[in-house]
Chain A
Amino acid sequence: QSVLTQPPSASGTPGQRVTISCSGSSSSVGSNPVNWYQQLPGTAPKLLIYNNNQRPSGVPDRFSGSKSGTSASLAISGLQSEDEADYYCASWDDTLSGPGFGGGTKLTVL
């Protein structure tokens, strides 16, 4: 049982825009910023979005994040084949005294 809730899968065709949702609670997403991580097959996760909507250097502006209340979302525009990966949202949880993760969303580029 993950702390945050994500859809298990998402898909799109090249060039499309897809969004992935992330739902939490008042003690997690409702009180703390949301971060997103991308995990390519067989590799470690990599920071994609931090503080709800900030991109680290090197992350294309095709990736964007937003948050409202106890929910957040990741949007990927101009979908490319190399975007096929697992995406995880995460947020500090005041009840856990640690970060909680979503269960992950597997993105397939058709």
Chain B
Amino acid sequence: QVQLVESGGGVVQPGRSLRLSCAASGFTFSRYGMHWVRQAPGKGLEWVALISYDGSYKYYGDSVRGRFSISRDNSKNTLYLQMSSLRTEDTAVYYCASWDGHNDGYYDQWGQGTLVTVSS
């Protein structure tokens, strides 16, 4: 069955870096755009970043542009999020999700999420 499994979360000090991973299985990973979406404690969903199926284009939300970098390795069926210059407001559960379509698309599968806590 389709599975997305995030890892790499934890507690990190402000200004430091962290890399999240998302291992995909059960579907043809290389054919799907992939996104990171986050949810701060008790808050709603916020889109973070997206990467096209082949990695040729990437877009970022305003709050993370210039600090976060999304990438993928289709040979390993894995999505990454490199987070730098972390701020306390980046504290959230980070979900990876597969995107079916283009601007007419939707999230058809979600991972279980990994918690990132930015605190001194």
Contact = CB atoms under 8 A, between A and B. Distances in A.
The prevalent SS among residues of B at the interface is strand
B81 to A, nearest CB: 14
The interface size bin for chain A is 20 to 34
Given A44-B112, A51-B106, A98 B44 contact: no
Nearest to A36: B106
Nearest to B99: A99
Contact of B47 (A86, A99, A104): A99
B104 A92 contact: yes
B10 interface: no
B4 to A, nearest CB: 9
Interface string A1-14: 01000000000000
Nearest to A88: B45
A101 B44 contact: yes
B107 A101 contact: no
A45 B95 contact: yes
A75 B56 CA distance: 38
B95 A98 contact: no
A100 B113 contact: no
Contacts of B104: 32-33, 51, 92
Contacts of A50: 106, 108
Interface of B: 35, 44-47, 49-50, 59-62, 95, 103-108, 110-113
Given A47-B106, A96-B62, A103-B44, 5 more contacts: A50-B108, A92-B104, A96-B59, A98-B49, A101-B44
